[in-house]
Amino acid sequence: MKIIESTDAAHAHVRRRTGKSVLVPTMGALHRGHLELIRVAREHAGNAGEVAVSIFVNPLQFEPGSDFEKYPRPESADEKFCEDAGVNLLFRPRQMYFDDRSVYVEETRLSAGLCGASRPGHFQGVCTVVAKLFNLLAPAATVFGEKDYQQLAVIRRMVRDLNFPIEIIGVPTVREADGLALSSRNQYLSADERAAAPALYQAMLRVKELAAGGENSVSKLIDVAKEVVSPAKRARIDYITIVDAENLEPLENLRPNALIALAVFVGETRLIDNLRLT
């Protein structure tokens, strides 16, 4: 496995590279969900192609007062994880931004609601760093998990609108046995909080069950989800909403392509999840 740690080295690598490259962008603290992203990347790259993983804890997507400083950075463990997973290239930049930077990439429609409403500037940071990764590593395709559904939608829109010649591949959410979506932030949860966290998935499953039974009032379905989540220990709802999966606009009544999305603080840890309803 080749490791590069500078933007100049990234450009040099791309100039010498032959074959298809598929990128898995991450912030590290790699887990079984990332392993599935790497597996899908290998499927698309082929045995002769390159699977590249980037690890960079991006300060631009952390709002003031968030967990940027304490975000886990297990560098040696992540390096071994990538090597064991058959990754060809690990891009671990030590510097991604100039001190006097003045150019950012911003999507203004799909990023307005959901997490964008409660995390101002977050998706500008995501778009900016992903655009830089695309320019530096020039992948043919990039793999993103559907757990961060809004992020996936925003990146797809950025690629479309800015004409990046890159295929965006979405990968279904990987879950624990009790339904909790895998996330690097799960390690912040105490034992009691971890026991309470599956309420998010249970709420979405209950809503999906009611929707399958004919309930189409979004307000009623959201109320049911809140009834499931609210009693969970140390749970505080940021949002629960049902949107069109294509444009992320809130719905009043269920229709094809509906998606429930939620963000809930369990203790101090903000967890997000989503599920297709129709």
**Residue 129: partners with Cβ closer than 8 Å, 6 or more residues away:** 25, 56, 58, 60, 61, 96
**Residue 103: partners with Cβ closer than 8 Å, 6 or more residues away:** none
The predicted model gives 255-267 an average pLDDT of 97
- Go through the domains of the chain in sequence order and give each one's CATH number: 2-171 (3.40.50.620), 184-272 (3.30.1300.10)
**Buried b / exposed e along 10-36 (16+ C-beta atoms within 10 A):** beebeeebeeebbbbbbbbbbeebbbb
Q: How many Å apart are CA 201 and CA 99, to the nearest integer?
A: 41
Question: What are the helix (H) ranges across 213-243?
Answer: 218-229
138-197 pLDDT, tens digit each: 999 999 999 999 999 999 999 999 999 999 999 999 999 999 999 999 999 999 999 999
User: Mean pLDDT of all residues in the chain?
Assistant: 97
66-122 pLDDT, tens digit each: 889 889 999 999 999 999 999 999 999 999 999 999 999 999 999 999 999 999 999
What percent of the chain clears pLDDT 90, i.e. is strictly above it?
Answer: 97
Q: How many Å apart are CA 124 and CA 67, to the nearest integer?
A: 18
Q: How many Å apart are CA 82 and CA 36, to the nearest integer?
A: 12
Return the structure tokens found at 10: 């990234």
- Looking at residue 64, what is its pLDDT? 81
- Looking at residue 66, what is its pLDDT? 80
Type and span of the H or E element at 265 = strand 258-266
Pairing of strands 141-145, 89-91: unpaired
Q: What are the helix and strand counts (H, E) for the chain?
A: 9, 9
Is 214 a residue whose pLDDT tops 80? yes
Q: Active-site residue numbers?
A: 34
Instruction: Enter the DSSP assignment of 253.
Output: B
Cα separation of the two ends of the chain:
42
- Looking at residue 122, what is its pLDDT? 96
Return the structure tokens found at 154: 């925003």
**Buried b / exposed e along 181-220 (16+ C-beta atoms within 10 A):** bbbbebebbeeebbebbbbbbbbbeebbebbeeeebebee
47-71 pLDDT, tens digit each: 999 999 999 999 999 988 788 988 9
As a residue count, the chain comes to 278
Q: How many Å apart are CA 123 and CA 156, to the nearest integer?
A: 13
User: Do 267 and 190 touch, CB atoms closer than 8 A?
Assistant: yes
- Looking at residue 194, what is its pLDDT? 97
Q: How many Å apart are CA 186 and CA 198, to the nearest integer?
A: 11
Is 8 a residue whose pLDDT tops 90? yes
